[in-house]
Amino acid sequence: MLVASGGGPVAVWGKTTNLFSPLQNPELSSTTFSEPELDRQRPQKQAEILLERAVSHSAGAPNQIEAQIESRIDAWRGKLQWDAQLGDLTTVALNSNNQSVRASAIEVQLAAYGLTKTESTVDALARQADSRDHQQKIWALWALGLLGNRGVEPDRVVQVLAAHLKDAGKNSDRDKNKEVKNKEDARRWAVEGLALVGTTPTITPLLEAMRNDPSPMVREHAACSLAASGMLSPEQRLIAVPQLINYSADPALDAQTRSWAFRALADITKQHLPNDSAAWRNWYQTSVAGGQFERSRFLLATDH
């Protein structure tokens, strides 16, 4: 049985108060270490230093720091303690605008959790995701996303996570019992797991959750996963734009969900248009479908 060692997904994403606004960097240590000095530190300290460098964009480009972390992962596994410091650093890193910084956080979490990048680990986590113990269940959903992002059976991971989104049950104001709330929470973490995977096949289940899930919380997390959080690339997020435009004009959806569609459109495209479906549809047809969208400027704006 796999369990979180000293922490779980709530320690990572539970501090995000505004889903569409990345966290600001905390006050980070200004201490610098040369590579030989870094190698002499304990694994815990090495992980903290490199994550600090990653989130502060100091001492090397983020992709270089990501490579430094990856080169040490095997030596760190089983030697990292999931504590408040590591939790805070990975929270900031996962909310970075830079994909390499987010990837560094994923690698550190896998090492801290002692998870090996193997098919057998995915098998164990898929079983644990069916656990009746709610905390074990949601941690497994999160951990599956971590592994899927690093290329460990991503298609199977997406299938497992998408299947957990279908367990909606009923979510009425008159029925807020523990079982219903746990199912809602599990679907939220299935969404977070899909966001972590970051492959194109995750877009369809995220769109379906945003439109169809009975829980506003789950719908909002799905919208955020399409727009800004998680590991989808800017170009992958563009794939969701036509359906998001449809959602923004869908009378079957409540006003809040339509507003999330507009917010997601703005975050994905960096366009400042009114909350008007016709305006967005016209922009898409003339700029994106028509080939006039300045993709290089768009990609630059999302990589900082």
Please indicate whether residue 290 or residue 139 has the higher confidence score (pLDDT).
139
Phi, psi for residue 240 in degrees, rounded to 5: -80, -15
Highest mean pLDDT among 61-70, 167-176, 193-202: 193-202
How high does pLDDT run on average in the chain?
Answer: 85
Q: Is 115 helix (H, G, I), strand (E, B) or coil?
A: coil
Q: How far apart are CA 64 and CA 280, in angstroms?
A: 38
Contact 226, 218 (CB under 8 A): no
Closest CA to 192 of 223, 238, 170, 168: 223
The predicted pLDDT at position 24 comes to: 43
Whether the pLDDT of residue 129 is over 70: the answer is yes
Q: How far apart are CA 221 and CA 192, in angstroms?
A: 7
Spatial CB neighbours of 285, under 8 Å, sequence gap ≥ 6: none
Q: What share of the chain is helix, strand, coil (3-state, %, to 5)?
A: 65, 0, 35
Phi, psi for residue 229 in degrees, rounded to 5: -85, 170
Q: How far apart are the first and last CA of the chain?
A: 39
Could you write out the DSSP letters of every residue in 22-61? Answer: PPPP---------HHHHHTS-HHHHHHHHHHHHHHT-SS-
CA 274 centroid distance within chain: 27
pLDDT, one tens digit per residue, over 217-262 is 999 999 999 999 999 999 999 999 999 999 999 999 999 999 999 9
Proportion of the chain above pLDDT 70, given as a percent: 81
Please indicate whether residue 291 or residue 45 has the higher confidence score (pLDDT).
45
Kindly state the tokens that stand for 293.
């969208």
Please indicate whether residue 63 or residue 232 has the higher confidence score (pLDDT).
232
Whether the pLDDT of residue 82 is over 50: the answer is yes
Whether the pLDDT of residue 41 is over 50: the answer is yes
The predicted pLDDT at position 61 comes to: 77
Phi, psi for residue 232 in degrees, rounded to 5: -65, 145
The predicted pLDDT at position 118 comes to: 96
Closest CA to 187 of 169, 164, 204, 156: 164
Q: Is 270 helix (H, G, I), strand (E, B) or coil?
A: coil
Q: How far apart are CA 301 and CA 304, in angstroms?
A: 7
Q: How far is CA 111 from CA 21, 75, 178, 241, 278, in A?
A: 27, 9, 33, 35, 48
Report the residue count for the chain: 304
The predicted pLDDT at position 213 comes to: 97
Whether the pLDDT of residue 128 is over 90: the answer is yes
Whether the pLDDT of residue 54 is over 70: the answer is yes
